[in-house]
A and B are shown apart, each in its own frame.
Chain A
Amino acid sequence: MRALRPSLAFALLLLLGIAVLVAIVPLLPGYDPYTQNLGASLLAPGDRSLDGRLYLLGTDTLGRDMLSRLSLAGRVSLFIGFFAVSVSLVVGVGLGLIAGFFRGWVESVIMGIADLQLSIPRVLLLIAVAAILGTGVFKLALLLGITSWVAYGRVARAMALSLREREFVLSAITQGATPFWNIRKHLLPNVLPQMLIVGSYELGQIIVLESALSYLGLGVQPPLPSWGLMVSEGQTYLELDPWLSVLPSIALFMLVAGVQITSQSFTAENDMSAEVVKAP
């Protein structure tokens, strides 16, 4: 199985490409994701417009520079991804630790909500909520964050269950430590590394969800670009100008594959240490 594991170097290369796209491209001369130039619409990558300007990745239907839009879309996706992961991490770790530490009815309620949420397809839940509460980058990020806490919650609870029986927690309790002091000082630092691994995996998932919602027209709204939205805008012109959909798809693939492989290499290390412990 070891030989099958895709190399981390490849993943980092993909992520480097994305980093250049979102961090370096906006510094280049000619960066302009919004200005329409109807005289230069639907140019192929590498074409020059009539006034002699070079468009490295071509233009969209309204003559906007594709490279600039891809770059801005990447920034939007990454912002939503990191924001949503932070929100779900805080909510999930909080609820998970409370459930695992207090047990009893508190645990039943929290885990009941988690089970309920897992029993509906996440895309459907997000569509229903987005339909009703409306869209927008900030709302979308918050929504994705709130609906993604279960993964952290379950792991945090499982870890809290074993941690609460450990001597350092018990001794703190006998010396009069309050539950929340214990959760903050003893449980949180112990679960945090594991949570960051979950978070790195979730980042890819969130970005895929965001792009899917934007593709359906329920996520990021024009004129702001998003890779999913760009794919859907380009679908009409698939026959003549396929790069309109293909370029954002490639960008999505680079980011998602990069994030997934990197996070898998974290978990792979963990799995291996687990195997070492289990081996007789």
Chain B
Amino acid sequence: MAYFILRRALQSVLTVLGVITVTFFLVRLAGDPATLLLPVEATNEDIARLRTALGLDQPLIVQYLKFLANAATGDFGVSLRQRTPALDLVLERVPATLELALTSFVLGLLLAFGIGLLMRLSTSARLRTAIMWVALARQAIPVFSFGLILILIFSVWLRWLPSLGRGTIQHLILPALTLATYELALYLRLFNASLAVEQRQDYVRTAYSKGQGRTKVILAHMLPNALLPLVTIAGINLGLLLGGTVVTETVFSWPGVGRLIVQSVSQRDYPVIIAGVFIISLIFVVVNLLVDVLYGFLDPRVRLS
């Protein structure tokens, strides 16, 4: 088990290293930061002076190693617009993003669990088909369109919920619902499939032969076993959800890391972009690592593969 964790941790470190390496070289590919920083009327001497000051006159590999050394101490440079350390700007926004992502994650699981159970317990095939159709239709609507439709219904027409910003629990409902429902169709299908697998197991037949009712068998016997795959996939998808926050945050003006990155892109604020990409991929990788390790504990077969 220790070996398994160590190997996965090493992989994660390599991934984050890979991500910031790619971003670093992409930024250098985009052009000389010195010309971007200075006004148009700057002379060649000005540019040369700034290049020396920023260390841009050194070989690329030296610059890269310096960048890595600085990044290791949390120094991603200073925001070109706000003149504050880029990493601080990003870290300020992390709680908002985590709040949205975790709420959506839990809400998504609860919805899948509740609706999936309803589908299994109900005897109406028509109801089950209808639910599945709605979930599939939801999956075909992009995040930003769905968010806008929710705003239109609940903020503009019904005036029940605020359409943008962060603060109260009401602000959280629409963005969280937008993200939580995206994978619902997948979760429902998975939950149904694993319930169907459990249904064929011997212990279920034993329970029925003891004279237990359908509801009791499903709730007490099949459910605990069928939940594990659902939780695993949801855990794996927590990363994807993190990607989805980028768009959702923009739709609802949610002050998170994703929105900061998008805003920094339009302002060409490269240090903030790099720091933001670093933080999101760091969260992504840590989450994946935790899910893997947790699953290694729960299901020992995983460790061997």
Contact = CB atoms under 8 A, between A and B. Distances in A.
B288 interface: yes
B219 interface: no
Contact of A121 (B15, B129, B242): B242
A129 B266 contact: no
B144 A239 contact: no
B226 interface: no
Nearest to B145: A249
A215 B247 contact: yes
Given A242-B152, A257-B137, A231 B281 contact: no
A205 B137 CA distance: 15
Name which of A124, A217, A249 has the most chain B CB atoms within 10 A of its CB.
A124
Given A211-B142, A232-B144, A260-B139, A246 B152 contact: yes
A231 B148 CA distance: 9
Given A119-B284, A228-B142, A239 B156 contact: yes
B265 interface: yes
Contacts of B296: none
Interface stretch (B26-34, B50-58, B68-76): B26-34
Contact of B246 (A124, A132, A228): A124
A172 interface: no
A3 B125 contact: yes
Nearest to A213: B247
B281 A120 contact: yes
A185 interface: no
Nearest to B262: A216
A132 B281 contact: no
B280 interface: yes
Contact of B142 (A121, A130, A256): A256
B100 to A, nearest CB: 14
Contact of A127 (B129, B142, B265, B284): B265
A252 interface: yes
Interface residues of A, number: 44
Given A3-B129, A119-B285, A132 B29 contact: yes
Interface string B262-305: 10111010100100010011001100100000000000000000
Interface string A235-261: 100110010011011001100110011
B65 interface: no
B29 A133 contact: yes
B261 interface: yes
A205 to B, nearest CB: 11
Contacts of A1: 192
Helix, strand, loop or mixed for chain A's interface? helix
A253 B141 contact: yes
B206 to A, nearest CB: 23
B114 interface: no
A123 interface: yes
A198 interface: no
B229 interface: no
Contacts of A132: 26-27, 29-30, 270, 273
A123 B243 contact: yes
B19 interface: yes
A116 B18 contact: yes
Contacts of B148: 231, 235, 238, 245, 249
A260 B149 CA distance: 21
A106 interface: no
A155 B281 CA distance: 25
Interface in B123-182: 125, 128-129, 132-133, 136-137, 139-145, 148-149, 151-152, 156
Nearest to A259: B140
A242 B153 CA distance: 10
19 contacts: A115-B15, A120-B281, A123-B244, A124-B246, A124-B280, A127-B262, A129-B26, A208-B142, A215-B142, A216-B250, A216-B262, A228-B144, A235-B148, A245-B145, A249-B145, A249-B148, A252-B141, A252-B142, A256-B141
Interface of B: 11, 14-15, 18-19, 23, 26-27, 29-30, 125, 128-129, 132-133, 136-137, 139-145, 148-149, 151-152, 156, 192, 239-240, 242-244, 246-247, 250-251, 261-262, 264-266, 268, 270, 273, 277, 280-281, 284-285, 288
Question: Which 3 A-B pairs rank lowest in CB-CB distance, beginning with the nearest?
Answer: A121-B243, A257-B140, A249-B145
